[in-house]
A and B are shown apart, each in its own frame.
Chain A
């Protein structure tokens, strides 16, 4: 096959917004997707130090925030919103756990990347001014198609393990 693929642009350097975030779902949308047709009641929990220790020992993952954002569904299921932090990424996840403690669903609510550019200041940014102007696309909006080597999902899977331990220690119905 010989596909007439494309006209490659001369690569131009562009910058994403320093604090650009992709929002996939709001908390309410995730609740409706993971517990369709069910009323969810807020179940605010603040972990004690002993609970945090138990969660860390059960999951092998550090507990950074003792305030747990949880809701209880009519069927006894639990809905938790939580943040996980990687080296450069900040991800908000929503986890649905069944009455007996099985993962029912996981959705990513928001994804944010940071490489410390925001602290470099205007001088650093100024050197690229003009390079983006010639490009044929608007770059002030969210960049949606980024090709780049794999960003690991390890922090998300660690977060799920920590939340299952949190359910076990502090949220079991």
Chain B
């Protein structure tokens, strides 16, 4: 590698988790690169957080069935991609399960009357606008985090970064020429790690219950809801998805978890692979 700025690693609390940026090689001002990437993540949060009543998503949830809502191109893009992934996975990925997440206390958001049972397919996304024919409550938490990682990587690259990684609470994307090792937490003992391999230019996201479980009648459940029956998934194995971009990887962890099989046909169509870890009982 040619001489360049020294490696830099920064973390900030964003998207409800810790977002870490790492730059291994940069042709431009490394501080400026980091600043623009954090700004991109913060913008995704401001636009698409369901926790923020002032976000575009919250406005869409409140008013989208009364009038078309004007949207930033990023919000419209995430909604369109969520619809495409909903269709590609036979409905398994669906951000419209937010009413169930709210009822289980995973999401502290008010749910409009009649929003339960809706689907992201009910949304009409136009050019910078969206509306729906019925009340909907969407939570983009299962895809926007990955999208934010993708935007952070794009911002780092535009600012001259040639290699590095962005990791938003375990949803990560690597860029640059050199392969990097990636490990996955053991779902039975998240302080232990399984080596997945060495990768470059790839996005890897994981869903599991170790940090996100809530008690429920039949035992602890994860914030992943099956749109077919409205039930949350019991804590168990973790699912890791490897894909070309992090929005896809993030969304597909939920769909693979719900599919139950290790390699549903649509996974390959989307250029992705999945790894399920059952977790070892700690000795």
Residue ranges of A at the interface with B (Cβ–Cβ < 8 Å): 1-3, 5-9, 11-16, 22, 24-25, 33, 88, 91, 106-108, 111, 113-117, 120, 124, 127, 135-137, 139, 143-154, 156-157
List, in ascending order, chain B residues with CB within 8 A of A139's CB: 181, 195
Cβ distance B85 to chain A, nearest Cβ, rounded Å: 13
Which of the residues B17, B165, B208, B273 comes within 8 Å of A5, measured between beta carbons?
B273
Answer whether A108 and B12 are a contact pair too, CB < 8 Å, given A11-B275, A146-B185, A148-B210. Answer: yes
CB closest residue in chain A, given B283: A124
Selecting from B57-65, B72-80, B166-174, the interface stretch reads B166-174
Q: Which of B14, B167, B196, B273 has the most CB of A within 10 A?
A: B196
The reply to whether the CB of B262 lies closer than 8 angstroms to some CB of chain A is no
State the CA gap A111–B11 with chains docked (Å): 9
Q: Could you pull out 15 A-B pairs where Cβ atoms are within 8 angstroms? A: A13-B280, A14-B195, A91-B18, A106-B12, A108-B10, A108-B11, A137-B195, A137-B198, A144-B180, A145-B167, A145-B172, A147-B170, A153-B17, A153-B18, A157-B13
Cβ distance B176 to chain A, nearest Cβ, rounded Å: 12
Which of the residues B9, B165, B189 comes within 8 Å of A24, measured between beta carbons?
B9
Chain B 44-56, CB-CB to A under 8 Å as 1, else 0, gives 0000000000000
Which of the residues A7, A113, A127, A152 comes within 8 Å of B283, measured between beta carbons?
A127
Selecting from B129-137, B225-233, B237-245, the interface stretch reads B237-245
List, in ascending order, chain B residues with CB within 8 A of A8's CB: 196-197, 242, 273, 275
Which of the residues A2, A3, A15, A149 comes within 8 Å of B207, measured between beta carbons?
A149
Answer whether A106 and B185 are a contact pair too, CB < 8 Å, given A147-B205, A149-B212. Answer: no
The reply to whether the CB of B193 lies closer than 8 angstroms to some CB of chain A is yes
State the CA gap A14–B17 with chains docked (Å): 24
Evaluate contact between A149 and B275: CB separation under 8 angstroms. no
Answer whether A143 and B196 are a contact pair too, CB < 8 Å, given A11-B277, A88-B191. Answer: no
State the CA gap A88–B243 with chains docked (Å): 29
Cβ distance B6 to chain A, nearest Cβ, rounded Å: 12
List, in ascending order, chain A residues with CB within 8 A of B18's CB: 91, 108, 111, 151, 153, 156
Contacts beyond the supplied A145-B174, A148-B169, A148-B184: 10 A-B pairs with Cβ under 8 Å = A13-B192, A15-B193, A16-B192, A108-B11, A145-B183, A147-B172, A147-B204, A149-B185, A149-B209, A154-B16
Q: How many residues from B make CB contacts under 8 Å with A?
A: 63
Evaluate contact between B194 and A153: CB separation under 8 angstroms. no
List, in ascending order, chain B residues with CB within 8 A of A144's CB: 22, 165, 180-181
Evaluate contact between B212 and A150: CB separation under 8 angstroms. yes
Evaluate contact between B170 and A107: CB separation under 8 angstroms. no
State the CA gap A117–B192 with chains docked (Å): 9
List, in ascending order, chain B residues with CB within 8 A of A33's CB: 31
List, in ascending order, chain A residues with CB within 8 A of B197's CB: 6-9
Answer whether A25 and B195 are a contact pair too, CB < 8 Å, given A1-B271, A150-B169, A153-B17. Answer: no
Answer whether A9 and B196 are a contact pair too, CB < 8 Å, given A117-B191, A144-B22, A151-B18. Answer: yes
List, in ascending order, chain A residues with CB within 8 A of B202's CB: 5-6
The reply to whether the CB of B154 lies closer than 8 angstroms to some CB of chain A is no
Cβ distance A145 to chain B, nearest Cβ, rounded Å: 4
The reply to whether the CB of B29 lies closer than 8 angstroms to some CB of chain A is no
Which of the residues A124, A146, A156 comes within 8 Å of B193, measured between beta carbons?
A146
CB closest residue in chain B, given A143: B183
State the CA gap A137–B283 with chains docked (Å): 25
Cβ distance B34 to chain A, nearest Cβ, rounded Å: 10
Evaluate contact between A145 and B12: CB separation under 8 angstroms. no
CB closest residue in chain B, given A142: B9
State the CA gap A9–B194 with chains docked (Å): 10
Which residues of B in the span 107-136 have a Cβ within 8 Å of any Cβ on A? none
Cβ distance A35 to chain B, nearest Cβ, rounded Å: 15
Evaluate contact between B273 and A151: CB separation under 8 angstroms. no
Which of the residues B240, B269, B270, B273 comes within 8 Å of A147, measured between beta carbons?
B240
State the CA gap A151–B20 with chains docked (Å): 12
List, in ascending order, chain B residues with CB within 8 A of A7's CB: 197
List, in ascending order, chain B residues with CB within 8 A of A12's CB: 194-195
